[in-house]
Amino acid sequence: MSQPSSQPDLRPASSAPVRVAARLSVLAAASALAACGMMPDAPTFGLMNHGQPTSAIARLAPTSGSTVEGEIRFSEHGGDTLVEINLRHLSPGSHGFHVHEKGDCSAADALSAGGHFNPDGQPHGAPETAHHRGDLGNVTAGADGTVNVNFHVKNLALTGDDGIVGRALIVHAAPDDMATQPSGNSGKRLACGVIVRN
């Protein structure tokens, strides 16, 4: 019958204190780097960008007699704003597409949204010429009545006094001719949605 070993137990003790010490060393090193201005760039979330949203969305609902609906997303990228458009149930062809001054889609015809967003007092026009800040040109629906397109717009802030959050986005029945004042002869308002923080 074998006897219990009299040799001492040479297995290492728990490594937990070692892990804690290592973590404290890493935190100390990070603090030192930060003090020297050498910390690597970090994502700008919430408090780092003062809580301002970098993206927004408008969910368009049909006006009276229309079935047009969809979602439009906005996201800031440097000096540009990316506009991502997904619309359904349009007639094939071009349709005027604008940000309107009031975030109010309560009227059956969406006239409660007011005119085009125009804080600069510019005439109506094409996006590449003098134009209202809310003049986004036309979107073109395919044979299936959908629009799925992305494009970049300059000088279209999401927030601030001249921001589009809290305003309405409208798609129209007819093409915007980019010239007729004050709204490009775009016809009936087919769908309306208020732009909100995302």
Domains and CATH numbers, the chain: 53-197 (2.60.40.200)
**pLDDT for residue 98:** 95
How many CB atoms are closer than 10 A to CB 172?
Answer: 24
CA gyration radius, the chain = 28
Going through the chain in order, the beta strands assigned E by DSSP cover: 55-62, 69-77, 80-88, 93-100, 135-141, 147-154, 168-172, 189-197
Cα 95 to Cα 35: distance, rounded to the nearest angstrom: 55
pLDDT of residue 130: 72
pLDDT of residue 171: 98
Distance between CA atoms of 176 and 181, rounded to whole angstroms? 11
| Unique residue bearing structure tokens 């992305």 | 150
pLDDT at 132: 84
Q: Which ranges of the chain have pLDDT less than 70? A: 1-53
* Separation between Cα atoms, residue 98 and residue 153, nearest integer Å: 12
CB neighbours (10 Å) of residue 42?
7
Give pLDDT, residue 34. 40
53-96 confidence digits (pLDDT tens) = 489 999 999 999 999 999 999 999 877 899 999 999 999 999 99
> What does the pLDDT read at residue 120?
87
pLDDT value for 174: 96
